[in-house]
Amino acid sequence: MREPEQPSDPEMIPCIVCFKEIPVSEVLSEEAVDYVLHFCGLECYAKWKSQNDAG
């Protein structure tokens, strides 16, 4: 009998603000071909934006 296949863990990347791991499949975009920042959610994006607007 064959062993059941185990799903592999998805490739992960860190959020630029909080370093929470994000699956690469959730952040891939055809529009993003150059330098891209990845955020785990809108709260982290807003925090990053406010820090950059203040500086």
The structural domains of the chain, with segments of one domain joined by +, span 12-54
In this predicted structure, what is the pLDDT of residue 30?
63
CA distance linking residue 51 with residue 45, whole number of Å:
10
In this predicted structure, what is the pLDDT of residue 18?
93
Q: Across residues 30-49, what is the average pLDDT? A: 81
The more confident residue out of 52 and 19 is 19
In this predicted structure, what is the pLDDT of residue 54?
79
Q: Across residues 25-44, what is the average pLDDT? A: 76
Contact by Cβ (8 Å): 5, 29:
no
